[in-house]
Structure 1
Amino acid sequence: MIVYDRLWKTMKAKDISQYRLIKYYKISAGQIGRLKENACVSTHTLDVLCTILNCAVEDIVEFRMDSTLASELGVDVSQDAVPSDPSLSSPKTEPQKIPRVSEDQEEDAPSGSF
């Protein structure tokens, strides 16, 4: 579940009121209502709010596990959210060396951009 409790704290810290969001920044009263209800808002709205408040998205949005939704989706919340996969860990080998290109090879290369 996405909640916007941090938004109200950030707004208070930055001295930005709901009235100012609506009147000065043209955020709709409907958007404010959806934020108050922790309802769905677009990523564009989050982008605009982060810009207005000069903050990161995690300063206004928080994820809280909804066990009811997780159960409906068949997700086991007793485990890590993402199971660890050893194949995803960084390799312990040396980075691959990229061969240098001589001036002759550069001249033979096709010109133009991708």
Structure 2
Amino acid sequence: MKVCYDKLWKLLIDKKMKKTDLIREAKISSNVLAKMGKEESVSLESIGKICSLFGCNVDDILEFQSPEQITTNSGE
């Protein structure tokens, strides 16, 4: 199952933050950010740090995509 972080990237734009700001302020590693950039899963601890920083819930920063959704979205 693929993890889509588009909501997080939009949130960063809305907050006028760079990805390096996210690393520093949420205290996550650059490896975590790299995995997120590849739409891979990361630890709940890292997700929790990001949610804590923005005062939001998990579904405000990511969504899971099933293989069927990925095929449908890429075929549009």
Instruction: Mark yes or no: TM-score above 0.5.
Output: yes
Question: Unaligned regions of 5+ residues in structure 2, if any?
Answer: 69-76
Residue 25 to residue 43, structure 1, CA distance change in 2 (3 Å) = closer
State the structure with more CA Rg.
1
Opposite residue 14 of structure 2, the aligned amino acid is: A
CA RMSD, Structure 1 to Structure 2 (Å) = 1.5
Mapped to 1, the partners of 2:24 and 2:8 lie a distance apart of: 18
Count, aligned residues: 67
Larger RCO (CA under 8 A, 6+ residues apart): 2
Mapped to 2, the partners of 1:48 and 1:32 lie a distance apart of: 12
Does 2:15 match 1:27?
no
Runs (4 or more) in structure 1 with deviation over 6 Å come to none
Matches within 5 A, 1:26-65: 26-65=27-66
- Other-structure match for 1:11: 12
Contact 2:26/2:49 (8 A) holds in 1: no
The structure carrying a bigger strand percent of its residues is 2
Opposite residue 64 of structure 2, the aligned amino acid is: F
Percent identity reads 30
Mapped to 2, the partners of 1:22 and 1:48 lie a distance apart of: 10
